[in-house]
Amino acid sequence: MLLVRNVTKRYGKFVANDNVSFEIRPGEISVLVGPNGAGKSTIIKSIAGLLKFDGSITINGNENKSIQAKRDLGYVPEMPALYDMLTVWEHLEFIARAYSLSNWKEKAESLLQRFELDDKKKKLGSELSKGMQQKVSICCCILTGPKVILFDEPMVGLDPHAIKELKNLIVEKRQEGAAILISTHMLDSVNEFWDSTNIMMNGKIAARRTRKEIEGSGEDLEALFFKITEGDKVVQ
Amino acid sequence: MKALAYLLLIQVKNKILMLKKKPAFLVLYGIIIVFVLFSIVTMIIFGKDMPQTKFADERIVFLILAGLGLLFLFTFVSTGLSTGSSLFTMPDVGLLFVSPISSKKILFYGLISTLGKALIGSVFIFYQIGNLKTNFGYGLKEIFGLFAIFTVMILFCQLLSIGIYIFSNGNRARKRVIKGLLYALIGVLLLTALYLQRQEHIGIMEAVLRMTDASWFGYVPVTGWATMLFIGVVHNSMFKMIISLTLFLMIGIIIISLLTAGKADYYEDVLLSTEFTFQTKLAAKEGRNIPRQTATKIKVKDNDLGIGKGSGAMAFMYKHILELKRNSRFIFADGYTVFLMVGVGIAGYNFKTSEVSYYIVLAVVIYLQFFLTTMGKLKIELMRPFIYLIPENSLKKVFAASVTSLLKPCVDGICMFAVFGVFSGASIPTCIFFAFAYAASGAVFVGITILYQRVLGGQPNMIIQLSIGMGLLLAIMAPSVGVSIVAAILLPEALSFLSVLPYTVFCLFFAVLLFVTCGNLIDKAEYSGKA
């Protein structure tokens, strides 16, 4: 369970997140959408404990910077940041060791196979394309078995096979009871599985809807997005 | 041209305005400006009243200038033979090169912008005002002369590098000729110094000093021209100044003509180096390996696969050791270790009779260590999200990510003082305790980089380190240095090796203090993907 309460993040005078509140329950996929500069990545980084902020964020009841919260959290950054001198396999080994995981090798093998990285285990981080780095980043995140997962633009740079696998993986994690937050501009890519959405504008949550609410009104995610973000200039 | 002038001015303005976002740096830059102005004003007001004492041999300044000139020459010629230098940045390539502005005007813009950077890069000369005045009796004329010479040298070497690149790109024979000429020049200088030493029956230092002071040396490219120009300034010799400036100017004009003459298109020539410089800066910012033009592919061996040890925060340490192993088979020992071993070996051989000189050697290597200590692997970790996400205590993570930086001075200390012991005849306990002192100093310096990161949110540049950092450090370390000096005087000869112990203990205490107080770095820092 992810609880974000009254989070404000300032960079000097600029308010990147203004009193943001929302929650994601176990087994829920929530998508965070909004125009460029709306504050999506900032709130995701704040949840991941990478930024300082005012307000409160808890992960399964623990303050987000606590060790227990970190144990339950998985984060796939927008820009994959791998180590140049570690191979693909060593990235997974490093994560397993740092999180003190046991019996991780089988899971690691299966993740690499799923994302077609099994033949690239000995490739160094510096030798990988952006898309491959993104796949390794996803594998590192999932390996720890997180209960709250943050994806920041996870599909950018991925090939069609990896996008399909990632979608399947996200749905599986929901079935396992994880609370999942996905920030994306690619509305089509999440259309088939999202449960709730938070639309951000100018650092604030401009609207929150559940899938049921939208389907009841005959709208879809894209129409809602334009209605909220463009107001009167709504596209049909 | 208006657009280029606008671009230059707006960039300067924005760089200054950007300081508003980093108040600590603003204060530090303010202190530096005040310090420089204060030094100049003090010199103007009180300089004339200072008692005339016997000054040091000014040929030492000529030698330092010649040495730096040679270093510049070697570095920029080598760059010219590989990627070339660039007067431009990637935005210049993307926006200016494709714009309907004359390529000559763009070249002029590049030269002005590089000149500005060269001027800033030469500011460090003003830190030597006190030193140059006290030791050599130099006034404002000589100091501004040195400042101008450094600026000219940097600008000229950038041009030279581009010229060499254009001349030799894709032509192995030409590259070989240039490389041969460069090595031949260095060889001739070395042989001349040795010849002078033998012929005149003088020490090697005196021979080198005589060589750089000789009139023929003034005609050696870059290093000699710069020295001749400075000698001209010091001795009010218009002839020497004109000759050296003419040489700089003439070759500079030839290179510019090469860039702009006829149908010459320098865009392609500077493109590779601009891209390479951009990649290098980006890699340095992100803490990645600097891309090499002729990168040798690192092959991961089967028996070298895997981190193998460590759990929790300590996984960082073992990961770093693996990364170091991939970079160098000797892990901690690198080119700098060899440089230190050779340096202290020579020093030990030359000063073997004087025990005081042992301490001077130790002080010099620690002084060098201060400037060369970086955050190392911790800096790289701060630019990736893992260290923030991993569920461990911040202090443990900071320490584990710094272990390799702490071990490096231990290895350097052991290697260096083992060689020193062999060549100087210093006792084994002395060498061991010197190695301890060196390693402990390294721990303090690593701690200081963490302190900078905690307080400033980044690492200050060399100018700030030189002025503020060094001053603060000396003030803090002074008592322990004092105790060690007293110990050296009071201890019986058999126990003199213990004299550096107070300093070592204090360093270790101070390092622990720095780690403990700044250990919450990860909890307090913000991840931005850059340092």
Residue A235 has pLDDT above 60, yes or no: no
Domain co-membership, B1 together with B74 = no
Residue of A nearest to B391 (CA): A67
Domain co-membership, B29 together with B99 = no
- Chain A residues in contact with B304 (beta carbon < 8 A): none
Could you give the ipTM of this predicted complex?
0.86
Domain co-membership, B124 together with B271 = yes
- Chain B residues in contact with A98 (beta carbon < 8 A): 311-313, 315-316, 386, 390, 392
Find residues 316-375 of chain B whose CB sits inside 8 Å of chain A. Answer: 316, 318-319, 322-323, 326-327
Number of domains in chain B: 3
If you search the block for the tokens 């740079």, which residue do you land on? Answer: A157
Amino acid at A93: E
CA–CA dist A135, B420 (Å, integer): 51
Domain co-membership, B420 together with B471 = yes
- Residue B414: predicted pLDDT: 95
pTM, two decimals, is: 0.69
Domain co-membership, B346 together with B477 = yes
* pLDDT tens figures, B70-127: 988 988 888 888 766 677 887 887 788 878 888 778 888 888 888 888 888 787 788 7
- Residue B295: predicted pLDDT: 44
CA–CA dist B447, B461 (Å, integer): 17
CA distance B174 to chain A (A): 33
- Chain B residues in contact with A147 (beta carbon < 8 A): none
CA–CA dist B66, B70 (Å, integer): 6
Tokens (6 digits) for A96: 């397993």
Q: pLDDT band at B51, cuts 50/70/90? A: low
Mean pLDDT of B510-518: 94
Find residues 368-397 of chain B whose CB sits inside 8 Å of chain A. Answer: 380, 383-386, 388-393
> B391 to each of A83, A144, B311, how far by Cα in Å?
19, 11, 11
Residue of A nearest to B318 (CA): A94
Rg (CA), chain A: 18
Domain co-membership, B11 together with B99 = no
- Chain B residues in contact with A49 (beta carbon < 8 A): 388-389
On whether residue B69 sits in a domain, the answer given is: yes
Where is the domain boundary, B32, B48, B64? Answer: B48
CA torsion sign, B405 to B408 to B409 to B410?
Answer: positive
Tokens (6 digits) for A99: 């999180």
- Residue B49: predicted pLDDT: 62
CA distance B381 to chain A (A): 9
* Cβ-nearest to B527 among A50, A82, A124: A50
Q: pLDDT band at A236, cuts 50/70/90? A: very low
On whether residue B142 sits in a domain, the answer given is: yes
Domain co-membership, B39 together with B60 = no
Domain co-membership, B382 together with B491 = yes
Given an 8 Å threshold on Cβ–Cβ distance, is B312 in contact with A97? yes
CA–CA dist B503, B514 (Å, integer): 16
- Residue B84: predicted pLDDT: 67
Given an 8 Å threshold on Cβ–Cβ distance, is B306 in contact with A90? yes
Residue of B nearest to A67 (CA): B391
On whether residue B231 sits in a domain, the answer given is: yes
Given an 8 Å threshold on Cβ–Cβ distance, is B315 in contact with A87? no
Domain co-membership, B273 together with B321 = no
Find residues 272-311 of chain B whose CB sits inside 8 Å of chain A. Answer: 286, 288-289, 298, 300, 305-307, 310-311
Domain co-membership, B28 together with B74 = no
Residues 6+ apart with CB under 8 A from A161: A116
- Chain A residues in contact with B306 (beta carbon < 8 A): 89-90, 93
Instruction: Show the domain range for B147.
Output: 56-280
Domain co-membership, B168 together with B20 = no
Domain co-membership, B122 together with B13 = no
Rg (CA), chain B: 25
> A169 to each of A72, A185, B81, B379, how far by Cα in Å?
17, 19, 51, 33
- Chain B residues in contact with A68 (beta carbon < 8 A): 391
